[in-house]
Amino acid sequence: MNNHHQRSRNRSPERNWVEKCWDCTCLELLSPRVVHKWLNISTESSDYSADSDDSIHDSSRTFFPLVSVLRIDNLGAFTRSRRRKSETFRAQLTDSKELRVSANTWNVGGELPPEDLDISDWLDTDYPADIYVIGFQEIIPLNAGNIFGSEDNRPIPIWESIIRETLNNIKPVKPKIKCYSDPSSPSRCKSSGYAPNIEHEIVLESDGETVVETCTFNDSVTRDSKEILEEFVDPFNNSKSFKDYHPLETYLNGDNKVKPEVNCLAKLDINSIMYQKRKPQYVRIVSKQMVGVFITIWVHRSLRKHIHNVHVSAVGVGVMGYLGNKGSISVSMSIYQTNFCFICTHLTSGERDIDIAKRNADVDEIYKRTRFSSMSKVAIPRSIKDHERIIWLGDLNYRFDLSYEETCDLISKNAWSELLESDQVITLNMQLRKGGAFDGWTEGSLNFPPTYKYEPNSDTYYGEDPKVGRRTPAWCDRILSYGKGMRQLSYKRAEIRLSDHRPVSASYMIEVEAFSLKKVHPAMLL
């Protein structure tokens, strides 16, 4: 008996087909890039692209929050594992903020967009968000060459250029609030009395807010300084106060007394202001492709420095259960002190019962195999459900339990509530109370026509001619959310005819916890 147990312990565990194939000599004949693509093997934990900016902390690096230097026993207040035991302490150190998040999904059917494609209605730019999460499916055609060959990323720059231009054409919201950084100083920005009073508001970028500095500029400013200011301070152009005066540096470094007006100007750091003026207001923090699945996340520039611990996990569930023609890309990040996860998916298509079962299995595999690795000792989420706020978007491919004729009849009547009764996501949700794939997830009201399947460049559903073949219309493109503090504001589709799907968007106001230095007692610091 003892020998039997000894043999059992020495026996190597049964390996799955991926591990067996990895040792197979046939894979050695293929390029490492193709093998990594097939098996969704990431060579680095930060295997994604993002905008670079030397003036802002690199968000791909692990962040050690300031709370880690506090001499207290409750450091776990910012980790999920000990959070439940530290709610009181956590409330003492954090403030609540609300962020507007725009989630967007579109199956583009492998179609390349024209460079002047207008996606502003899809991204709902009339109501600017702090974060834009944009997911695509079939960003390249799902043919054998793209599935088994090297990654075709040629459409990515085109789409990102369209997104960048759309977001950075959003008009910034400027609240009519005047904030003074030093209101207690009676001499700050006070007129000297012998030069024209020139008052102008300069918009500065702050942490998630717009700060308006109001100063009265007088006396000595060089012509060089005028050139720096004139593009956004028109009143200076005709002012005599700019003529025939010594450089600003002579007042700051020489023997002359520094006048309050000049000191005010120096504090504004004009060069920095001008550099900020030239920066785009939205920056890309993540872009990741897996065959036809692509996710890109953009944030307002002022929010970027509050985003840390960015990690990506790709899971293929397509051909042979592992290839990326179907599957998910998940992005994990901490925004302030709240953990977010954004998931872009493309599940198995088809209307048969076996296809429904495969879609459910796809979701289970995504849950099981999505893992966010980190070399950091900071406790960060490792799986999807470890996060506090989650948005799942994509072509879920669930259909109606109705015939083509019944579905089209209800669509013609705008009978959305009756369609919902036969929607597989909804009917599954009734079963999911028993612990299924989307148990506990929520979705906004579906008050728009099914998003699939349209004839090219048409508002006509595919299949009105039975000879051509039929696809029953369905709400394939969905956006779901999970977690507390998430208030959905809208859920709609856009009327862009590029592909056989219509794009869908949802916007949320999401509560986050932000560490507050004001709440830290001096005794807690070193």
Specify the pLDDT at position 74: 35
pTM (2 decimals)?
0.71
Measured CA to CA, the distance from residue 77 to residue 2 in angstroms comes to 47
Specify the pLDDT at position 495: 96
Specify the pLDDT at position 431: 55
Between residues 41 and 197, the one the model is more confident about:
41
> What would the mean pLDDT of 262-276 be, rounded to a whole number?
56
pLDDT tens digits along 483-514: 999 999 999 999 999 999 999 999 999 999 98
Cα-based distances in Å from 345 to 5, 331, 477, 507: 44, 12, 10, 18
Tell me the H-state helices in 198-308.
223-229, 248-253, 260-267, 270-278, 301-304
Per-residue pLDDT at 248 exceeds 60: no
Cα 417 off chain centre by: 31
pLDDT tens digits along 286-300: 999 999 999 999 999
Between residues 129 and 269, the one the model is more confident about:
129
Residue 90 pLDDT level (bands cut at 50, 70, 90): low
Residue 272 pLDDT level (bands cut at 50, 70, 90): low
Q: Does domain 88-170+274-524 have CATH number 3.40.50.720?
A: no
% the chain with pLDDT above 90: 49
Residue 71 pLDDT level (bands cut at 50, 70, 90): very low
Specify the pLDDT at position 295: 98
For residue 218, give the nearest of 265, 169, 283 by alpha carbon: 265
Specify the pLDDT at position 127: 95
The overall average pLDDT reported for the chain is 75
Question: What one-letter code names the amino acid at 501?
Answer: H
Specify the pLDDT at position 378: 66
pLDDT tens digits along 112-161: 999 899 999 999 999 999 999 999 999 999 999 999 988 899 999 999 99
> Is the bond into 484 cis (omega within 30 degrees of 0)?
no
Strands 327-335 and 307-316: antiparallel
Per-residue pLDDT at 328 exceeds 90: yes
pLDDT tens digits along 2-50: 555 555 445 544 555 554 554 554 544 555 555 555 556 554 545 788 8
pLDDT tens digits along 450-493: 999 999 889 999 887 776 678 899 999 999 999 999 999 999 99
Non-local (6+) Cβ contacts of 375 within 8 A are: 45, 62
% the chain with pLDDT above 70: 59
Per-residue pLDDT at 107 exceeds 70: yes
Specify the pLDDT at position 520: 58
Phi, psi (rounded to 5 degrees) for 509: -105, 120
Per-residue pLDDT at 433 exceeds 80: no
Residue 397 pLDDT level (bands cut at 50, 70, 90): very high
Specify the pLDDT at position 422: 92
